[in-house]
A and B are shown apart, each in its own frame.
Chain A
Amino acid sequence: MYVAVKGGERAIDNAHALLAEERRGDPAVPELSVAQIREQMTLAVNRVMAEGSLYDPDLAALAIKQARGDLIEAIFLIRAYRTTLPRLGHSNPVDTGAMAAVRRVSATYKDLPGGQVLGPTFDYTHRLIDFALAAEGEAPRAPQAEPLGPVPRVTGFLDREGLIEAEPDSDATPRDLTREPMELPADRALRLQALTRGDEGFILSLAYSSQRGYGRTHPFVGELRIGEVAVEMEIPELGFAVEIGEITVTECETVNQFTGSKTKAPQFTRGYGLVFGQSERKAISMSLVDRALRWEELGEDNTGAPVQDAEFVLMHADNIQATGFLEHIKLPHYVDFQSELELVRRLRAGAQEAAE
């Protein structure tokens, strides 16, 4: 005999208990510490910080632990936590030109002032499973070099010759996507914000589609740099900016297909990517998508490619929005389904009557 469904509350409590148990796994295996995740799963931590829009390696590591390694779930935890933080002010723009780079490469020049610095990269590793890592051992040591001081920008060389479009300085305060709703058409600052916290896989696939001809922009990686930059904040009581910390960021500037007209000499154009942490796949993808989205201001044709469609890109880049809405179809829809059921029955009855 049916009596109205009860016990949702107890079911939820039990499910949570089971989740906690599964998270821990076999108790005979030592538990991961947050510090271990922070130090040894750094790139996962970086992704969670980037897409969570919150620079806090410890918190990101904890979120990864709590989410059982599901990075989108961890990003979600960070975003929800971020919501509760009061906004005390905003920093000055970071100066990536003054970056202490650990990695800095250019695909457009063989050598350049400051040099090519490979840094910690997978690029030239052979992708062979290293069974030695399965055994515990001493931490390997890399040879030490003098830390790299500030190095000039590749786009700066091009700019001096007028070979690349000028990027005018602006003191205008950009709109803040985390404080204001997305509004279309979105200017470039807003688009870049959406891209930098957008889903890495989505941005990657869009960039890839542009490389394959859907909104092609012929990009070169002018420069990719990774390193620490100082975050400075203007303190009104002091009247000057003070450094409040350092963060690691990845910056990518692409040099793209030139534009020009009868009256204007051809110039290279730019795509830009800037992401928290060492996140170079994301930064490069972002710079390609940024450039492709600029088709209108640069007088290019709209070929109908997805990556040229700002509304399509911006409205679907956020994985927290996407995953929530996708997964909500697991929730009960009894009422809607019931009304569909009634309707189909009535229509079928009508059709049957008409047939008789």
Chain B
Amino acid sequence: MSDYNFAYLDEQTKRMIRRAILKGVAVPGYQVPFASREMPMPYGWGTGGVQVTAACLTPDDTLKVIDQGADDTTNAVSIRKFFERTAGVATSTHTAEATIIQTRHRIPEAALSDGQILVYQVPIPEPLRFLEPRETETRRMHALEDYGLMHVKLYEDIARNGAIATSYAYPVKVEGRYIMDPSPIPKFDNPKLSNTPALQLFGAGREQRIYAIPPFTQIVSLDFEDYPFEASKAPHACDLCADDTTYLDEVITDDHGGRMFVCSDTDHCETRRDAGYRGRLAPQEDAA
């Protein structure tokens, strides 16, 4: 693909994106407007994440791409291929080997380390959007820290359902200042946002926003004192690797109500199975 610049975008565009990233890092949780470009994949399919990744990639990087926690879902495959072709960088499915991880809807199970960058694909960056549809008004609310409405929403949840009925894209407060949408990760992943050594970057292509959580930033999920935030998951262990601490996908196995639960993080699950762990329904023949 010598027709295209390294990682598709031209250098000036990358510089523009890097400036937005730096501003985001300097003001954690603040949504920085940036001139998002049309990319060869549609808006809503990760264009924000792809642009952030393209701006961060160097030829020495190792890239991992996941969607729903898995390396082999179609969209993850497509984005990984895109960078293999346009940047020629090494790719890996192992969380620990990757220097840049682009993700849609999950944070890997394995703890991230110093020097890693986690890039989130973000559909709607504005946590207040469904309470207030006007961008002009939500920007003012952020500027004035006028966040009462956000708690009204949580209050209404409890009044109606007896619990906060937000299970993903659960809003957080960044370092005591900005309220932020962590992208549609399950709330199970929220605690992993906080105080991590890795740099977390969020790109929303269609909405033209970039924001960031620098390493070791304090992230608090919004809640009430008497209805504290809870990082919940299905009350099962993985049926393939027996891990009972991970986020699980539910798989329907037949039409008589049969189902099994498997790790949504495929790399984590495979690593466990390679180490000899066996879940309830793991094929026995390849047991070590």
- The interface of chain A, by Cβ under 8 A from chain B, is 1-9, 11-12, 76, 79-80, 82-87, 178-185, 311, 315, 320-321, 323-329, 331-336, 338-343, 346-347, 350
Contacts and interface: CB of A to CB of B under 8 A. Distances in A.
A4 B269 contact: yes
Nearest to A84: B4
20 contacts: A8-B73, A8-B76, A12-B74, A76-B38, A80-B39, A80-B40, A83-B38, A84-B10, A181-B34, A325-B43, A332-B75, A333-B105, A335-B247, A335-B249, A338-B186, A338-B234, A339-B188, A343-B232, A346-B163, A347-B165
Interface stretch (B62-70, B146-154, B173-181, B216-224): B62-70
Contact of A324 (B42, B135, B250): B42
Nearest to A351: B162
B257 interface: no
A182 B205 CA distance: 12
A9 B78 CA distance: 8
A243 to B, nearest CB: 26
Given A9-B77, A327-B42, A347-B165, A336 B240 contact: no
B73 A328 contact: no
A253 B185 CA distance: 49
A335 B108 CA distance: 13
B263 to A, nearest CB: 8
A181 B136 contact: no
A338 B13 CA distance: 37
Interface string B249-272: 111010000001010101001100
A180 B16 CA distance: 9
A5 B72 contact: yes
B238 to A, nearest CB: 10
Nearest to B39: A80
Chain B interface, DSSP helix/strand/loop, else mixed: loop
B209 to A, nearest CB: 8
A332 B234 contact: no
Given A4-B70, A183-B33, A321-B43, A340 B123 contact: no
B167 interface: yes
Contacts of B123: 325, 328
Contacts of A82: 38
Given A84-B4, A335-B185, 19 more contacts: A4-B72, A5-B70, A83-B9, A86-B10, A184-B135, A320-B43, A321-B206, A325-B123, A326-B44, A328-B42, A329-B44, A331-B44, A332-B74, A335-B69, A335-B186, A335-B264, A339-B168, A342-B167, A347-B161
Interface of B: 3-5, 8-10, 12-13, 16, 33-40, 42-45, 47, 67-70, 72-78, 81, 104-106, 123, 134-136, 161-163, 165, 167-169, 184-188, 206, 208, 232-234, 240, 247-251, 253, 260, 262, 264, 266, 269-270, 281, 283
A113 to B, nearest CB: 43
Give the 8 A-B residue pairs with the shortest CB-CB distance, closest first.
A328-B44, A324-B43, A324-B42, A79-B38, A339-B167, A181-B33, A325-B44, A181-B208
B95 to A, nearest CB: 16
B35 to A, nearest CB: 5
Nearest to B137: A311
Contacts of A328: 42-45, 123
A197 to B, nearest CB: 11
Contact of A8 (B37, B72, B106, B135): B72
B5 to A, nearest CB: 7
A324 B249 contact: no
Nearest to A80: B40
B251 to A, nearest CB: 5
B179 to A, nearest CB: 20
B75 A331 contact: yes
A83 B248 CA distance: 39
Contacts of A325: 43-44, 123, 206
B204 to A, nearest CB: 11
Contacts of A8: 72-74, 76-77
Contacts of B45: 324, 328, 331
